[in-house]
Structure 1
Amino acid sequence: MEENLSLKERMAEAGFTQAELAEAVNADLRAAGYEGSVSDRTVRNWLTGKTRWPHRRQRAALEAVFNCPAVEMGFVPRRGEPSSPDIPATEETVLRRHFFSVSTGVALAPVAQQRVGASDVQRLLSKFAVLIASDHRYGGKITIETQASALAGEALSLQARGTASQRVRGALYGCAASFTSSAMWAAIDGRRFDAAQRHFDRASSLAVMSGDPTIQFRIWSHAGSLYRHLARPADALAANDVARNLPIARRDPMFASLGHARHAAIHGLTGDTRAVRQALGHAQDALRQADPNEQRPMWLNAFYDQAELENLALAAYLSLGNYEEAEAHAHRSLALVRPEMRRTRAITTTRLAHAQLGQGDLEPAVATAISVPTDPVGQHPRVLGMLSDFGNALHIAAPKSPSTRTWTEYVHASQRNPQ
């Protein structure tokens, strides 16, 4: 197979990722009355040369997106098939020409461009709200990552295919950046760190174009978390400092609190107890000062509160090996966590088991670990990894204890009878 470099270059010029091009092609297919069945795998097959000549409808959609014949995108017609078939102007082709003339600005017909407004932005944000809710219930799923990337593609498609005010254009870039940041977080949560880095590179450039400091804060704060999970504390501190030094963190204590709390979790990796305590103190002070009635982005309202601050403190003290302090924060977090935050509850419970084990409380630690639901949050990559680490630490600490046998039997039974 020969790589399709022409298509790759055109995608780069247009700023399309694979998922975003798939969404753009699907938008055209749906406008023409067909099912939008193109996926990022389809686009990958085009790029690698596995598919050298797409289906006729897909070719027509690609030609509308890039405003050039399929052969100029590097596709090779099958033997005996014309490169530009003479298709009569049926209702399908008329509809497609109309759709792209009004939504992309391509001069296919003298029809006015579609006006993109605040209602289009609100529609995207409504979809985003559903995605955020799913993320906080389960998290880490590749489907969430894919859906977030597709939403970003939808925002960029609107950006490219319609006329809009400068404010709306900024909002669309902001949507694309925020959605890509959610894809980044899903990849971090799912331990797909290479994908997370790619999303970060994309999201950071979109955030700059949006001019929205709240989105820039989110992306750089996520970058700090990415590097923390990769055990790169110096990079994590530097990235989180970018977030903490943005004007929004000085203007709104809620953003400042999150920045300090995540800084504490990073300092835990460095073994700096004083820095952890100082950062947590700043985080708590800022959270007390935050006006609960102030309007903030949905992604921040969806997860950050006293329970999350306690959870980040728990992570910091676990890293320091201060298990008694970690357990206290775990209990406070579990008492406050919202019912819908199922993934967060599972992660906090697993961390509590580690804190109890660190203090030598084998029986309570095993009971806590067993209390983590096996499905669906128990299948979360982070939870699975933490429970596996728990089992390894338990076998090292007390290989022949009754509690260790109980845990081993539980694991074997769970593997035989997954829910």
Structure 2
Amino acid sequence: MKTPYVADNATGDATTNRGTPAEVFFVFLKLGLTSFGGPIAHLGYFRDELVVRRKWLNEQGFADLVALCQFLPGPASSQVGFALGLLRAGPLGAASAWLAFTMPSAILLVAFASLAGLFNGPVGQGLIHGLKLVAVAIVAQAIWGMAKNLTPDRQRAAIALIAILIAILAPTALGQILAIVFGAIAGLWFCRTDTAQEPVELAFGIPKIVGLVSLALFLGLLFVLPLLAALAGWQPLNLIDAFYRSGALVFGGGHVVLPLLETEVVRTGWVSASNFLAGYGAAQAVPGPLFTFAAYLGFAMTPEPNGPVGAMICLVAIFVPGFLLLVGAIPFWNTLRRHPRAQAGLRGTNAAVVGILGAAFYRPVWTSAILSPIDFAIAVIGFVALVMWKAPPWLIVVAVTLTELASQMLLRP
């Protein structure tokens, strides 16, 4: 059997370094407790913890994973986390990564389900705004580090700049896909080298037959579940269908899924509009993936199953399609990336990912957080602390949030 390899340093050298599901669980539990700011910020946390600090893989391998997950439907940051757990410790590692990264925010949102208006006061709003400022510092650090490694020449820097324009002019999931497609095409023309490089082996250990089965399951459930739900008229099946489709038809995850969820649960009368908005507000104040908003909705909805059972059904159903697609794509992607043309396309794609991160840094990260000179100063201090003083992200979360709360009380009307 082929020896599994992972990259263990920034140059891309390989080693037989593997971890355990327990190690993956506790690393991602830390991330699940501290990763505020949405999917783009999560990628910054992942990069800092797993590429820079722990060296589970190199910058190039991480960027390749981000590009793949950005291109696939589903919760992009959770898919990256799932893939990193799979890479480190196999299927149990993937399950451990998902559970640990998802569990904290799911538990908090279920707890918030009966506490309407928790964040309506000035202290609550100050807390939320402080977490947004944390996201500014984290995303800026991620862009800074990735740009140095993935756009080292004029060609790739130009691809990144054009990708920023595409993503800003088309601020939708379609814009992100267009930017990635542009990067791949531009890479084929402008990022070729005379010799093919052997990419670092990312040993996911998924046979192609398993990939094909996963893709078949994804498509089968997408088309069969609505028919079964309509014929059976059984509420648990209706829930699985609604949340599976919401997870399957959204690119990039995060806030993009909210309109789909609103259609499925508010317009059907399962959840009131006021409760939906209250849960959305709470979701802004917790770490981890925004897809865990599904747990809040499953707990708070009127028809049974609701409560803990409803929360579990909705939470699992919304994540499953993205993971099926990822498992289906990985075996073929891992083979494709060895070819010289594919490598050229990936160089362009990775540069485009830097551009997409740059566009997301402006909107919504910057535009929703930097509302005054004080906000700008706090975010810059956080960025400098991360980049120059190598402060751990959890410390930045605490310090920036407390500073924002203090400024709300002392310096602002």
TM over 0.5: no
Superposition TM-score, scaled by structure 1 size = 0.26
Provide the TM-score with structure 2 as the length reference. Answer: 0.26
**Which structure's relative contact order is higher, taking Cα pairs within 8 Å and 6+ residues apart?**
2
